Amino acid sequence: MNKKGIIIAVILVTALGGGVAYRLAHSPGGSEQAEHAEHAEEGHGDEKGGHAEGKEEKGHDEHGEKQVKMALEVQKQSGVVVAPAKKQQLAGVISATGKVEANADRIAHVSPRISGKIVAVRASLGDSVGGGQVLATLDSVELGEAMSRYHQSKTRLALAQSNMDRVKVLVDKKIAARKEILQAETDYRTAQTDLHTDQERLALYGVSAADLKADRRPLLPVRSPIGGVITEKHAIVGELADPAKSLYTIADLSSVWVLVDIHEKDLAKVRRGQAATVVVSAFPETRFRGRITYLADVVDEATRTIKARVEVANPGRKLKPEMFASVELATAADAPPVLAVPEEAVQELEGRKLVFIAEGDTVFEPRKVELGRASGGMVEVVSGLKEGERFAAKGGFVLKSELLKGEIEGHDH
């Protein structure tokens, strides 16, 4: 080949190579293929690290939450109930603050019926006592005098009985006049009345029939008139006690009062018998149910509020007098329906509010939700849940426990 032919061949090869490069650069996916090839070239020396990174990304799901699997039989045993989310009207709520007080209708101040010296103390501060239980015993001079009168009346009755029987025999033999039997019967009935009066007086003091039969001078018992807890104790052995001095204060705390201030503007929405929910900081997850039993008739001039009294059942005596409380009063439902779920369906985890969504029959996915107002045991769901979605209406705490259990086991592995 001559020199001219070689030059022409070089020009043709150069033009052909440039056309191929241009076509690759402008074709669809061309740049991606080139980039892929470049990454493949760069990652060739670190193939193990590349594979590890791809596996980590695959381990995260869309919501960043783990799922809880629970068989239907276990759900039934654990109290898990699934229901579709639906809209409903929530009653309005009036929020107020208040303070817990002992139920004044269930408080007893215990003092002796008569004066005496305290010889024994059988109950102390904080003890739970039953109705009729002896709290202290007294040695009383007045009681001794009452016992003497009782014995005298008992003796007079026996004599009147004997005299009446004797006169009856004489009248039957016509030795005595009939008017004598009338007098004897009158004396007998008078003695009976005197003895009954003395017995009633001793019973009022606290002396039992067994003490009277024992025919001994008894000590005076001081009994609790109601069952409850001793909140005050002033009984000290050796001190004198009298009816004007309270030895014990007994409070039945199975029911307490919560006194709240209702603003004047909300007065038209509040009535006696209205349902109320009470929450205290000591037990933030427990909602105590009660009802308004009293509304004051006078508005406080300074605060423009009225006092309302909520009577609340107090199982376990969790509510203590002088506790501060938050009170919610439910009013009529006059707002448009909203998507709402039971309060027990919402669980808190790491500062987030979660609802467990049912994925099929045995799988639950914890989903973060945003909540609105709460009323009557229901709470509004602003976002995170759609109408018709099936969720755990009951048993959310059990599912939360299973979720945490799974996380702990995962860390152990």
Per-residue pLDDT reduced to its tens digit, 138-171: 998 888 888 889 889 999 999 999 988 888 888 7
- pLDDT confidence bin for 64, thresholds 50/70/90: very low
- Number of helices followed by number of strands (H, E) in the chain: 8, 24
Alpha-carbon distances of 354 from 339, 370, 407, rounded to whole Å: 15, 9, 16
C-alpha count within 13 angstroms, C-beta hemisphere, residue 363: 6
CATH 2.40.420.20 is held by the domain 68-90+336-412: yes
The CB density around residue 34, as the number of other CB atoms within 10 Å, is: 12
Where do the CATH 2.40.50.100 domains begin and end in the chain? Answer: 106-250
What distance in Å separates the CA atoms of residue 17 and residue 20, rounded to the nearest whole number?
5
- Give me the count of residues in the chain: 413
Domain 93-103+253-330 has CATH 2.40.30.170: yes
CA pair distance 166, 173, nearest whole angstrom: 11
Percent of the chain residues topping a pLDDT of 90: 52
Q: What is the DSSP string of 99-110?
A: EEEE-GGGEEEE
State the pTM of this model: 0.54
Confidence check: pLDDT of 230 > 60: yes
Q: State the angle between helix axes of 141-172 and 178-205 in degrees (0 to 180), rounded to the nearest 10.
A: 160
Question: CA torsion 223→224→229→230, rounded to 10°?
Answer: -50
Burial 109-132 (b: 16+ CB within 10 A, else e): ebbbbbbbbbeebebeeebebeee
pLDDT exceeds cutoff 90 at 92: no
The amino acid at 408: I
Q: Closest Cα partner for 223 from 207, 237, 234? A: 207
pLDDT of 37 > 60? The answer is no
Task: List where CATH 2.40.420.20 sits in the chain.
Answer: 68-90+336-412
Average pLDDT of 303-328? 93
Q: Which residue has the higher pLDDT, 111 or 61?
A: 111
pLDDT in tens, 370-392: 998 777 788 899 999 999 999 99
Q: Give the per-residue pLDDT at 98.
A: 92
Query: Which band of pLDDT confidence, cut at 50, 70 and 90, is reported for residue 16?
Result: low
CATH code: domain 106-250 is 2.40.50.100
Q: What is the DSSP string of 338-374?
A: EEEEEGGG-EEETTEEEEEEEETTTEEEEEE-EEEEE
pLDDT, mean of residues 307-311: 95
Domain with CATH 2.40.30.170 in the chain: 93-103+253-330
Work out the average pLDDT over 254-259: 95
Higher-confidence residue: 406 or 187? 187
